[in-house]
Amino acid sequence: MEQRLRDQYRFLLEIDKLKTVLRQNVLSDQSRRENSAEHSWHLAVMALCLGEYAEPGTDVAVATKMLLLHDLVEIDAGDAFVHMPDEQTRLRLDEIAAAKRIFALLPADQGSGFESLWTEFESGSSREAKFARVIDKVQPLLLIEATGAITWRTFGTTRSQILRKLEFIATDAPKLWPRIQRTIDEALATGALVRD
């Protein structure tokens, strides 16, 4: 039991490093960039709040666990901007290695369970994973909308890039899609999103 607790403490101290990983999105007050730990907390609360938009039968508690775990790999792999496709292949390999290392810090039963949830999220293979992946995309949009799309303006993001990343929401959470579409349309109207 003492070794188990030591391993759990080691993991918990390791994941504190997520607070140092900066994301591209800025906070709603535009004071600074969001860190990945803040992002994970916001995702978890959003899942609880927006659970009614998940597919019927979705276990929101399981989706919330996925949301709290899925970005831990950024401790090693960092956060790459989603519209840089050349970074995505390298990032994917780095994330797989990071998941193995970080979850191995835990006792074997707990580590394998966490890694399974991470893998399920990445594959989008369940209702819970699909809902979690929707929430993971909706949260940045909330900040995009609140900040006048500063991030999209900074990177010259195009409409087609956004639609490629978000179109799955229309199928996996159709009740949320009209709000997403409105955010995109408003960004196009203001020139924050490049029309292509």
Q: Where do the structural domains in the chain lie, given as residue ranges?
A: 2-190
Domain 2-190: assigned CATH number: 1.10.3210.10
Q: What is the pLDDT of residue 88?
A: 75
Cα–Cα distance measured from residue 78 to residue 100, given in angstroms and rounded to the nearest whole number: 15
- What's the mean per-residue pLDDT of the chain? 94
Tens of pLDDT, residues 94-112 = 999 999 999 999 999 999 9
> Is the overall model pTM greater than 0.75, yes or no?
yes
pLDDT along the chain (196 residues), means of 10: 96 98 94 97 98 97 98 92 69 94 98 98 97 97 95 93 95 96 95 93
CB 148 within 8 A of CB 184: no
Tens of pLDDT, residues 113-136 = 999 999 999 999 999 999 999 999
Please name which of 97, 99, 34, 33 lies closest in space to residue 66, comparing C-alpha atoms: 99
Q: What is the pLDDT of residue 19?
A: 98
Q: List, as one string, the DSSP characters of 72-124.
A: TTHHHH----TT-HHHHHHHHHHHHHHHHHHHTTS-HHHHHHHHHHHHHHHHT
